[in-house]
C-alpha cells in the first residue's frame, strides 16, 4: 500500500498513484507503487505520459523489463523506465544488504 498521501497532488497524479499500487500482481505493485510514491510529484507532463503508458503495459512484460530479463521495446524505453529500473536496483540492493547484515548478527 502507498506510503505517501495524495494530498497536494492534482487529479491525474492521484489516479496514476492509485493505479500504480493496484496492478494486480503483488511484485509489480511493490516495484511500481514504491516508485510512484517517490516520483509521482516530480514528473513533468511528458514524464507523466511516459509513466502512464508504462503502467498500462502487461505485468509480466513490465517486470521483465525492470529486472532485465527481456529487451525493452523502443516505445517503452524512456527516461521514466530507466529511472524505475535504477530505483528498483537501488531499493533491492539496499534491502538485500540490510538482510545480510541482520543475518550476520
Contacts of 55 (CB under 8 A, 6+ apart): 16, 19, 20, 23, 32, 62
Instruction: Supply the range of the domain harboring residue 24.
Output: 11-103
User: Any idea what the CATH number is for the domain that residue 67 is in?
Assistant: 1.10.150.250
Q: Is residue 4 part of a domain?
A: no
Summarize pLDDT for 53-68 with one digit per residue, the tens: 999 999 999 999 999 9
Summarize pLDDT for 27-59 with one digit per residue, the tens: 999 999 999 999 999 999 999 999 999 999 999
pTM: 0.83
Domain count, the chain: 1
Q: Is residue 5 part of a domain?
A: no
- Using CA atoms, how far apart are residues 62 and 76, in angstroms rounded to an integer? 9
Q: Is residue 6 part of a domain?
A: no
- Using CA atoms, how far apart are residues 21 and 36, in angstroms rounded to an integer? 8
Amino acid at each position: 500500500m502507498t506510503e505517501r498521501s495524495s494530498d497536494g497532488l492534482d487529479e491525474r497524479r492521484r489516479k496514476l498513484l492509485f493505479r500504480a499500487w493496484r496492478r494486480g500482481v503483488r511484485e509489480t505493485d511493490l516495484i511500481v507503487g514504491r516508485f510512484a510514491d517517490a516520483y509521482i510529484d516530480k514528473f513533468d507532463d511528458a514524464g507523466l505520459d511516459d509513466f502512464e503508458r508504462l503502467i498500462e503495459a502487461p505485468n509480466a512484460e513490465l517486470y521483465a523489463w525492470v529486472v532485465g530479463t527481456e529487451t525493452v521495446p523502443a516505445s517503452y524505453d524512456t527516461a521514466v523506465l530507466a529511472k524505475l529500473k535504477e530505483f528498483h536496483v537501488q531499493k533491492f540492493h539496499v534491502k538485500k544488504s540490510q538482510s545480510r547484515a541482520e543475518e550476520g548478527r
